[in-house]
């Protein structure tokens, strides 16, 4: 049994179920990312954990103690949780030190102990030199670190983060992903992190929970959900992939039309025959000539190619109307309209049951 347990959690607004029978077990000290597109139910799930909304079905337990069930939920302030929102929500008239210490003051800690704990967390979040500044004098990344420090200083049982990096520019987001992971490794709070950004989830999470239309589509380590997606949705959402559809041959191959027959080293085939094959963009090999003796090959016409510095991004149209994206070294330059050969190595082809 995990430290944080969601069991059959359901939330409806009118006739629409936005969270559908979600069950999840989070071990103590784990960082779990709820990942999915807008409207998939991830933020509602987080708000259910926080106690801001009450479930219509199922229950939530922390350390074996039930904290939420229909008609019987603990108030948010009794759950020993800290939550960080998309907005930094800092008090503009308080200094960094005062913002960070505010939760300790509300809890009635002695002034000396509160100062010591605040100093410790400011050092851990690299904010000591900014302790006397006001939020308006800080960059976005610094303000987000203040928000993190304020959440961590009260030593919560559970830390909840709702898309905390969405207001930062690309460079700061990348920096803060590593900062969040560093702080998690230092303090090991049980953490639930909501994001729609795959790179954020891959960088920070011990476990990624992919959500779709209110339900859990797949849960596993970052490597597991990337390398071994179970559905088309997960394959498309976690990293760029090509989905080619065809008929299972009863063994390890899928006939995709246009003479393309794909051997698949991994995955699950459908008994009825209809099967999709996932192959990542960077695993597709592109060449002007047909590879000698190679399996899983098909010819197509370049629809577009884009130079991106470290590589070129190709879109290749096949004769049957399907298209394949491929990533090639920058030195391989084939103009639009030219014929090319594609090889989709069997070890990188994963069958996905319909």
pLDDT reported for residue 168: 80
Check whether domain 4-227 has CATH 3.75.10.10, yes or no: no
pLDDT at position 108, please?
A: 85
Q: How far is CA 352 from CA 223, 245, 248, 343, in A?
A: 17, 9, 11, 19
Distance CA 282, CA 348 (A): 10
In whole angstroms, how far apart are CA 235 and each of 216, 272, 353?
Answer: 14, 21, 12
In CATH, the architecture of 241-353 is: Beta Barrel (2.40)
Which residues does the chain have with pLDDT short of 70?
258, 293, 354
* Residue range 93-129, pLDDT digits in tens: 999 999 999 988 888 888 888 899 999 999 988 899 9
Q: What is the pLDDT of residue 354?
A: 64
For residue 183, give every residue at least 6 positions away whose Cβ sits within 8 Å of its Cβ, in sequence order, or none. 124, 125, 148, 152
Task: Check residue 21 and give its pLDDT.
Answer: 95
Question: Domain map of the chain by residue range?
Answer: 4-227, 241-353
For residue 135, the model assigns a pLDDT of 92
Q: What is the DSSP string of 308-319?
A: -SS-EEEEEE-T
């Amino acid at each position: 049994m995990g430290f944080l347990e969601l069991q059959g959690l359901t939330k409806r607004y009118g006739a629409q179920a936005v969270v559908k029978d979600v069950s999840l077990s989070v071990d103590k000290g784990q960082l779990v990312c709820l990942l999915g597109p807008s409207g998939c139910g991830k933020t509602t799930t987080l708000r259910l954990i926080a106690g801001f909304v009450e479930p219509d079905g199922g229950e939530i337990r922390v350390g074996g103690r039930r904290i939420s069930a229909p008609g019987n939920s603990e108030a948010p302030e009794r759950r020993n949780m800290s939550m960080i929102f998309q907005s930094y929500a800092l008090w503009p008239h308080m200094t960094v030190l005062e913002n960070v210490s505010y939760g300790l003051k509300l809890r009635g800690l002695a002034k000396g102990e509160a100062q010591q704990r605040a100093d410790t967390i400011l050092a851990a979040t690299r904010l000591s030199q900014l302790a006397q500044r006001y939020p308006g004098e800080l960059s976005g990344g610094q303000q987000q670190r203040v928000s993190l420090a304020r959440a961590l200083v009260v030593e919560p049982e559970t830390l909840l983060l709702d898309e905390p990096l969405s207001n930062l520019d690309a460079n700061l987001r990348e920096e803060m992903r590593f900062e969040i992971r560093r702080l998690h490794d230092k303090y090991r709070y049980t953490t639930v992190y909501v994001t729609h950004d795959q790179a954020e989830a891959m960088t920070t999470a011990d476990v990624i929970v992919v959500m779709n239309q209110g339900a859990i589509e797949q849960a596993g380590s970052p490597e597991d959900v990337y390398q071994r997606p179970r559905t088309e949705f997960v394959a498309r959402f976690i990293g760029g992939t090509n989905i080619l559809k065809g008929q299972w041959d009863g063994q390890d191959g899928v006939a995709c039309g246009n003479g393309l027959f794909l051997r698949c080293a991994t995955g699950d085939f459908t008994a009825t025959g209809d099967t999709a094959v996932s192959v990542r963009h960077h695993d597709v090999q592109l060449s002007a000539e047909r590879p000698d003796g190679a399996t899983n090959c098909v010819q197509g016409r370049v629809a577009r190619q884009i130079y991106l510095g470290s590589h070129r991004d190709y879109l290749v149209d096949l004769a049957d109307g399907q298209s394949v994206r491929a990533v090639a070294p920058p030195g391989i330059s084939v103009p639009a309209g030219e014929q090319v050969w594609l090889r989709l190595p069997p070890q990188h082809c994963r069958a996905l049951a319909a």
